[in-house]
Structure 1
């Protein structure tokens, strides 16, 4: 689900084409450059759990580098505006960011201890510095996961004189994806006894919030869903409803099974029935399944096998952990890399990062 790096191709008179990687071009700016930088960082799991923080930060600080002050004389913080003292803290590659420094070395051939503040004029370096600084300041704690907590973190560690209200206002106006996509999206909902009724209801509401935020129509995104516990229960196929309102109403009526957790059967049924052209699946659409679960299946080996079979068929699997989760099992189900396909939601205010990843 990640995209390629961004290249600017220049045709030369002699017929030779030169490709310049804009993520490494000093002074490059714009949404396409920022998206490419973040894609490279997330796909290598340097900051895979950023919860949209990097994207928001670039837009809040410099409007994706398009503000005139971004590359001002004497200041080298780049698109993410990482001050020199903050950059210097990342160069220790200490405990909480050691693994990230190692990945940067192996994947990008960049020895971060030898990088200079001036390097941050290159968008990739600025994005890497922002990632490392946020991870450094977060320490053993989770990265702030929603726009409000991110604004608080930003003011505390990045802009002591900053206005958190201004951060949240601008971040919420972040430009969305402007491309159309043909995607068949299936929700697989855990209704077993280990999932509380409260969490189950929240999952259904969460699905409807996702539906509200997507373009649902036969030319773009279609949605289906099924509930499971010991067996597969209520099911909504892609051709069940023609209106968003009817679809949402049906989602809220999905009954909870409240017994065992046959996750493997649910994954199989999604492939056999939901992603079947006879029930409305489109042959050329991207097929994505989101499993909402605590990750505690009754037959883990069967679940891992079923997930692998689905991935082999080209289905993209995202695991969304809810409640008291088993992260190991969530990772074994999801597509790779896990850092961009496993979401642990502490609360459903974190929906934005999942939506952005889906659209990407």
Structure 2
């Protein structure tokens, strides 16, 4: 596992990317951490799922390029699917994302960050030693346990670039802490869910190119 670079039976409009970036040969393990707490309406949660699919459209999904995992969180965090579940089947990946059911509840962001570190980023779950790992957090609220959220982001950051999308968050100090620095490149601040389509190209671009160019290392799980 490499350093983490720390976001159907339905008619889904997939954004056609105009970003002038060729990610077709990029090898990434892409992990979306999605807030599905009770503060999000059903229609806005659908926009989040479409955003996830639109970002994946900027990459080539295959065993040798980009793999995708999704974690949702509210009162509890859940792995919706692992990196190797749909590594060679983009249609099945699309169906799996659209099938995610919102759980509602509180906002324990720390649980999701911990789950990414200890469960998803595991070679037995599809984490590849040759791939960069990209984590995109999407949330509309501060966490119920701010101290633990900061601690978990620090532990993830030992091996990670973390990107964050904050939607109508009144106090962004926590999300700015979770996302890497500088905030202007790692944190996307939106006023509503309807603005998500407008950042698809930018999110795809920064996660494709890996801003800091780290020398990657193997994650030593506790």
Shift in Å, 1:281: 0.7
For CA contacts below 8 A with separation 6 or more, give which structure has more relative contact order: 2
Corresponding residue SS for 1:304: helix
Q: Is the 8 A contact 1:184 1:282 kept in 2?
A: yes
Unpaired runs of 5+ residues, structure 1, are: 1-170
Q: Is the 8 A contact 1:181 1:221 kept in 2?
A: yes
Q: Which has the larger radius of gyration?
A: 1
Aligned to 2:150: 304
Instruction: Work out which of the residue numbers 172, 196, 201 in structure 2 matches 1:348.
Output: 196
Separation (CA, whole Å) in 1 of partners of 2:94 and 2:22: 23
Separation (CA, whole Å) in 1 of partners of 2:131 and 2:141: 27
Per residue, is there more helix in 1 or in 2?
Answer: 1
Aligned to 1:130: none
4+ residue runs over 4 A deviation: none
Shift in Å, 1:229: 0.6
Aligned to 2:12: none
Change (3 A) 1:288 1:178: closer
After superposition, what is the alpha-carbon deviation per residue over 1:206-262, rounded to whole angstroms, capped at 9, x for unaligned? 001111221111211111001111111352101112300101110111111110111
How many residue pairs match? The answer is 188
Per residue, is there more strand in 1 or in 2?
Answer: 2
TM-score norm. by structure 1 comes to 0.50
Separation (CA, whole Å) in 2 of partners of 1:196 and 1:178: 33
Separation (CA, whole Å) in 2 of partners of 1:335 and 1:309: 13
Instruction: Work out which of the residue numbers 272, 289, 295 in structure 1 matches 2:141.
Output: 295
Q: 2:87 aligned with 1:238, yes or no?
A: no
Q: Is the 8 A contact 1:190 1:261 kept in 2?
A: yes
Q: Is the 8 A contact 1:268 1:306 kept in 2?
A: yes
Q: How does 1:52-201 map to 2 (within 5 A)?
A: 172=18, 175-177=20-22, 180-201=25-46
Aligned to 2:207: 358
Aligned to 2:47: 202
After superposition, what is the alpha-carbon deviation per residue over 1:38-85, rounded to whole angstroms, capped at 9, x for unaligned? xxxxxxxxxxxxxxxxxxxxxxxxxxxxxxxxxxxxxxxxxxxxxxxx
Corresponding residue SS for 1:336: coil
Aligned to 2:128: 282
Considering only aligned residues, what root-mean-square deviation do their CA atoms show, in Å? 1.9
Shift in Å, 1:178: 6.2
Q: 2:160 aligned with 1:318, yes or no?
A: no
Instruction: Work out which of the residue numbers 239, 242, 247 in structure 1 matches 2:93.
Output: 247
